[in-house]
Structure 1
């Protein structure tokens, strides 16, 4: 080391990253061990004059007026990106939002630094206060640790790979214990110490840029967001996973009550807000936190919540900020293999969620496939993503599969992500017709879209096809549940298409009745198997309202039409008795699928009451018309009467129902088209 890199007392000078982070440096050149361990090789450098007082230099720079017309001496055409080929870099950088396109980012411009500094000074006390509350929630760390482990035991579609979350959790627990910030007080509680200093460190780390290199393993990657680099999004992710796990049925008797869930939710929301405010660039943990927070709020507030809808848009913004939609621009080869696959899975999951909200609630989609070139994730288990052997990694990448699917017949988190993305593309096309500015419908194109969707579904590997008999097979109930959810999503695409085609006909399109019957039967089977299925009880109400309710409305309307006008019968493959039975079961399930404290409970109760009234009216009408003498078949046999005559209709006035309440309902946007706050408790449709 040159003498210029020594201090006045002849001691060796630390590199700039270690000096700014106030951590020990081993002074190795060209890269010290600390920067190598944290993945900051590109930032490791030694100041040529370590005795220089940076504070006075910055003060002099701030006193110089900034001229926006000043020409950068290093500004060349090459820097604009028009000339030559970009130089390879060992690290990937996210898109910059601090400069105009094709103009080099002037991060050191005094005008912007002064504005940022002024803003940070005003917000600093508020941020530190929020961080203090977030850190204090670490007193539940033993419970959080247990819940996070349970989450991955029972969830087959986890977005963040288990190895990454467990590594983050282990590093956080060990480092905070070793540093003396937390101390184990009991089996379920810890004490937190020196909160102010820890909050200052987290604030500084979160405000720093995280650099990722292609040679990182999972431990080095996690170290960027833990240890001395502990960031608020890391804590927020752990809190959110714990909150989601606590909402699942198998943990209802074990969680610390609603107070614990409320605190975890507050920490999740606050961590996400702070991470977005402080981080100079979006990070992968921020996107993971945003996705998990969206799922958590959807369970707590319902899919129709405006807050949930906002979170969908914010998640899309985070994806674009990190460039996950453009692999051609931000090469996946510049980051570790496990992270590249995780990013692909993250993008396709967010894309599918966006399409669900677009098609169910008639809202414009935020993420378009036309503006994305992200590849589907490989259909391999998450554990295989962390293969440390280059030979094993090459074998995984080059393993021949059928259209990208694994040949072993197993279902992985990537399997479900791939399925949903494929269906999401058809949902996007459907949304183009739903959210159109004109009322004209091209029936030919809609039927062609339905045919393409059906052909794609039929070409899937056999082990991915839903079988109604799976519930009584040896297949895991959790896997059956996921198969059914994907199948419902597939049916719903056809439902939306045939519903639009139905608008052009005076009578109901037969295909709409057939797909409605399939949707209703699938929902009923799912609910009947709830006691064998590991799922969130708050998940089913949304499925009932998205898939079960619209299909029941279509079928009850068809039954009523058939009774009033026998010339309009149901399709031959649909039995009235089966439809009535499934609708009756759905009514009962809607009443009990959610608790009074859940947001969707009011929707489910109102839907159950409306369908029950209409079903009772249909049965009353059928009973009245059944004894007619002309209701005889050609063979001389009387038409079979309804099998529900044993029902008590002595209170028939109670079951009278105004059909306009459901006839005027827009099936695709029913959630936002009725008002539950009515004096008489009856559906009030707009």
Structure 2
């Protein structure tokens, strides 16, 4: 099956509500990144809020119609992923609307079996490569959002990593994914042993891969910190810390904020990519911080590693202030980095007298 063959299954005479809903959901996410005084909204007939309300209602209707049909597929998963992203922007990460839709998405992933996508060596011949990679990308997005919300609001993850095949999407461009089988196989052969491209390029799948990797470690961190402490916990925690460090070191330099300098960030990465790269580094540091904090509280471990990690987080957040967007309104995202993460770090480290001062001056 080619991409054109697949697309023909849900357009024109075969138009499906999942496809219509995806269009509305993507439009809604784009609208949230549009300035309120943008020329597109300067007709005096509507506001961003009213237009967003109409888009949300249209998405709800599409999802309702899909539920009546009771047919779950990867197109519905894509719609639900985009809808969850929109709900977090529209109502906030802590909102019931976002959490409920994430629960619906998790149920669909389990029902369709997308949580158990086969590894590259065992891929089903019935699914073309582009479809397999799309499913992996959808699962990676859902898995990442699930671990983010579980972390910040103390909720149990809805997607249990022990019940999922955590195969990462390949680091390939969209053009390669929709190319013929020979071109796809050639591009796969050019990837390194870890599945990253060797050309120093940042693809959409590159960002999905690194987020998925970090979400896997975050899932292990949440499992450890939620368990009752005993003598077996500390070795397991240090094992996860070391695995995370080794994995991070093996990530491509172009995706590692700690390998960038300010000029390189501005010159070589788009604004949207730069935000993802910064947030990925903060995710890595945050996972380390959570484990070290847990060990410090439960096992009276040395706090200097914890304070050093806190210092790195705060320093990175301060630097992101200089990356405020001039072309796209992503101030909401940068504010989330500055206030959500830094507040947690400062409140945790401030329990020790003078700890923050020492951490920031070292």
Shared fold per TM-score greater than 0.5: yes
1-structure distance, mates of 2:98, 2:304 = 35
Cα distance in 1 for partners of 2:245, 2:63 equals 40
Contact map agreement 1:232 1:274 (CA 8 A) in 2? yes
CA contact (8 A) 2:190 2:198 kept: no
Output the CA distance in 2 between the equivalents of 1:363 and 1:387: 41
TM-score normalized by structure 1? 0.48
Deviation at 1:351, TM superposition (A): 1.5
TM value normalised by structure 2? 0.88
Change over 3 Å in CA distance of 1:546–1:273 after alignment to 2: farther
Shift of 1:336: 2.1
Residue 405 of structure 1, aligned match among 196, 211, 231 = 196
Q: Render the CA deviation track for 1:628-672: whole Å, top value 9, x for unaligned.
A: xxxxxxxxxxxxxxxxxxxxxxxxxxxxxxxxxxxxxxxxxxxxx
C-alpha distance in structure 1 between counterparts of 2:356 and 2:16, whole Å: 63
After superposition, the CA RMSD in angstroms is 2.6
- Do the aligned partners of residues 228 and 553 (structure 1) sit closer, same or farther apart at CA in structure 2, a change above 3 Å counting? same
The 8 Å contact of residues 240 and 292 in structure 1, kept in 2 or not, is answered as yes
**Number of matched pairs:** 350
Which residue matches 2:307?
Answer: 513
Counterparts of 2:219 and 2:53 in 1: how far apart (Å)? 35
Match of 1:491 in 2: 285
Q: Which residue is 2:84 aligned to?
A: 294
Q: Which has the higher contact order (CA 8 A, sep 6+)?
A: 2
- CA distance in 2 between counterparts of 1:242 and 1:290 reads 14
Determine whether 1:575 maps to 2:361. yes
Q: Report whether the alignment pairs 1:326 with 2:112.
A: no
Gaps of 5+ in 1: 1-214, 563-567, 577-686
Deviation at 1:570, TM superposition (A): 5.5
Could you tell me whether the CA contact under 8 Å between 1:355 and 1:365 is conserved in 2?
Answer: yes
Q: 1:394 to 1:546 in 2, by over 3 A?
A: same
Please list the CA deviations of residues 284-332 of structure 1 after superposition, one character each: whole Å capped at 9, or x if unmatched. Answer: 2211110010000001111111221122221111112221122349954
Tell me whether 377-386 or 473-482 shows the greater mean CA deviation.
473-482
- Contact 1:303/1:542 (<8 A) preserved: no
Aligned to 1:655: none
CA drift at 1:396: 2.3
Partner of 1:462: 253
Structure with the bigger percentage of helix: 2
After TM superposition, the structure 1 stretch with the greater mean CA deviation from structure 2, 241-250 or 540-549, is: 540-549
Once the two structures are TM-superposed, the CA of residue 374 in structure 1 deviates from its matched residue by 5.0
Q: Which string of whole-angstrom CA distances, capped at 9 and with x for unpartnered residues, describes residues 221-257 of structure 1?
A: 1221121122222211111111110111457512342
Bigger mean CA offset, 531-540 vs 338-347: 531-540
Q: Which residues of 2 match residues 196-595 of structure 1 at below 5 A?
A: 215=1, 217-249=2-34, 252-253=37-38, 254-255=40-41, 256-257=46-47, 258-278=49-69, 280-328=70-118, 331-388=123-180, 390-436=181-227, 438-440=228-230, 442-467=233-258, 470-473=261-264, 474-478=267-271, 479-504=273-298, 509-532=303-326, 534=328, 536-558=330-352, 561-562=353-354, 571=358, 574-575=360-361
Corresponding residue for residue 130 of structure 1: none
1:515 positional shift: 1.3
Query: What SS class does the counterpart of residue 346 from structure 2 fall into?
Result: helix
Partner SS for 1:408: coil
